[in-house]
Amino acid sequence: MLNLTVSSSKGRAIEESAVRKFEARLVGRILRPGGDGYESARRVWTGMTDQRRPGFIVRCAATSDVVRAVDFARSNDIAIAVRAGGHSFAGDSFCEGGMVIDVSNMKAIRIDPERCVARAEAGLTVGEFDHATQRFKLATVLGECASVGIAGYTLGGGLGRLMGKHGVACDNLLSAEVVGADGSIMRTSADENADLFWGIRGGGGNFGIVTSLESRLHPVGQILGGTLIYPISAIRDVLSFLDGYMNEVPDEFDIVIDIGRGGVMTFAPRVMEPIVSLAVSYCGDLHKGEAALKPLRSFRQPLAETIRAISYLEMQDLSDIRPFAEFGSAGGLMALESGFIQRLGEEAIEIIVAFVREAPSCFWIAAEHYLHGAACRPAASDKAFALRQSGYSTRIFAGWTKSSEADGAFFGCCSVRQLSD
């Protein structure tokens, strides 16, 4: 086994004996450079290995491990990063030379179907949570990417297909267990540590390490869902129709608009020709859903349609992230920009059309999860998540397989980077 390379932020080497004493008190274990599991633990959601090499990774098995890791890092002045799902585009899941506190193995979940409440540890992913709650025909507001960690998703606000009816993910957070920078364990809710509870609902992971979350569940059985596919030549017609249609949709309705080519779009994976894809769902009475979706299904003949009565899990599984991950693991470069747009008006449509005309061979524009209904009803000051106006969460992606293709490319204010950054 290699010697540890961890040191304090001031360059002082941490003695091996101190680390061994720390490790002996853990329920989980430490992964060291050169040891079993270390390299695989540095893999992120794309399948790539993060370029940074932590001095060691603490694979936590209980809240007590998180407390001891925080105490050890504080006492020895060690830089830390916290990892759960490993989906951080900002690269927050790892650090160079310091300690990674990895909670991804903490996956316990307890469901109270009578109270419609789930208490889940922070290492659970969206897919794991959904499969557990759907045994009782229940669900909370989560995104459609199965590998995203529920903790980071919820702390950032959390948009998903159920939010029009039930609010965003953090609106459904009832309480959380948080380990503070001083190593204390705090329960936070509307009645306990209320200021902290306000901050973690949309303010991100800046206030401590969340080890478990208690979330409100809702009855969700069969839904009406699927995709509509149009040729790229129909882009103006489709977006113009949606601009009016979305103003009248019921709370139960959700849509993800994908425009692109290159085979990386999650709702139209491996489709190489340019298309417009609409992933729609209606989570409510199926007869009312048929009526609500009728204008959308009939305004123009699509190339393909798959909308039907399906289970909630089947709808969640329609988003296939594997092609996107494969692009990254193959060394793809990308520019990525996220934002928000209120309307798909004439000006916005012309900008989108112009981008499509000049886009690289691999591009993807997504207007996701139209904010409306219950997602927009709370006051902006109600919690740290303040985006309470109707509109679309957007993401624009451009990809290149060779760095020379990206040199000098202009893409808004985005930077070109490897997908693992």
Give per-residue pLDDT as tens, 56-78: 999 999 999 999 999 999 999 99
> Which residue would you say has higher pLDDT here, 50 or 163?
163
pLDDT at 99: 94
> Which residue would you say has higher pLDDT here, 232 or 337?
232
Question: Could you state, in order of their start, the residue ranges of all structural domains in the chain?
Answer: 16-102, 109-219, 222-418
317, HSE (Cβ side, Cα atoms, 13 Å) = 8
Q: What whole-number distance in Å separates Cα of residue 193 and Cα of residue 236?
A: 50
Owner of token pair 């091996």 = 16
- What is the H or E stretch that residue 398 is in? strand 391-400
Q: What whole-number distance in Å separates Cα of residue 311 and Cα of residue 226?
A: 11
Residue 46 phi, psi (nearest 5)? -75, -10
For the entire predicted model, the pTM comes to 0.91
Please tell me the least confidently modeled range out of 8-12, 235-239, 274-278: 8-12
For residues 86-90, give the mean pLDDT: 77
pLDDT at 120: 98
> Which residue would you say has higher pLDDT here, 102 or 360?
102
**Identical fold, 16-102 and 222-418:** no
Does residue 417 surpass a pLDDT of 50? no
For residues 78-96, give the mean pLDDT: 85
Percent of the chain whose predicted confidence (pLDDT) is above 70: 92
For residues 390-401, give the mean pLDDT: 89
pLDDT at 204: 87
256: buried, middle or exposed (CB in 10 Å: 19+, 13-18, 0-12)? buried
Give CA 214 to chain center in angstroms: 18
Does residue 3 surpass a pLDDT of 50? no
For residues 332-349, give the mean pLDDT: 88
CATH domain 222-418 topology = Vanillyl-alcohol Oxidase; Chain A, domain 3 (3.40.462)
Does residue 233 surpass a pLDDT of 70? yes
With cut-offs at 50, 70 and 90, classify the pLDDT of residue 415.
very low
pLDDT at 212: 98
> Which residue would you say has higher pLDDT here, 179 or 414?
179
> Which residue would you say has higher pLDDT here, 85 or 132?
132
Does residue 91 surpass a pLDDT of 90? no
Domain spanning 16-102: CATH 3.30.43.10: yes
pLDDT at 51: 81
Does residue 411 surpass a pLDDT of 70? no
For residues 15-34, give the mean pLDDT: 92
For residues 79-104, give the mean pLDDT: 88
Please tell me the least confidently modeled range out of 105-119, 230-244, 278-292, 311-325: 311-325
For residues 305-326, give the mean pLDDT: 90
pLDDT at 402: 76
CATH class of this structure's domain 109-219: alpha beta
Does residue 407 surpass a pLDDT of 70? no
Checking DSSP bridges between strand 333-341 and strand 362-371, what pairing results, if any? unpaired
CA distances from 108 to 18, 28, 128, 132, 267 (A): 30, 14, 10, 10, 30
pLDDT at 167: 97
**What is the chain's mean pLDDT, rounded?**
90
pLDDT at 2: 45
pLDDT at 329: 75
Helix (H, G, I), strand (E, B) or coil at 79: coil
Q: How many beta carbons lie within 10 A of that of residue 308, not counting itself?
A: 12
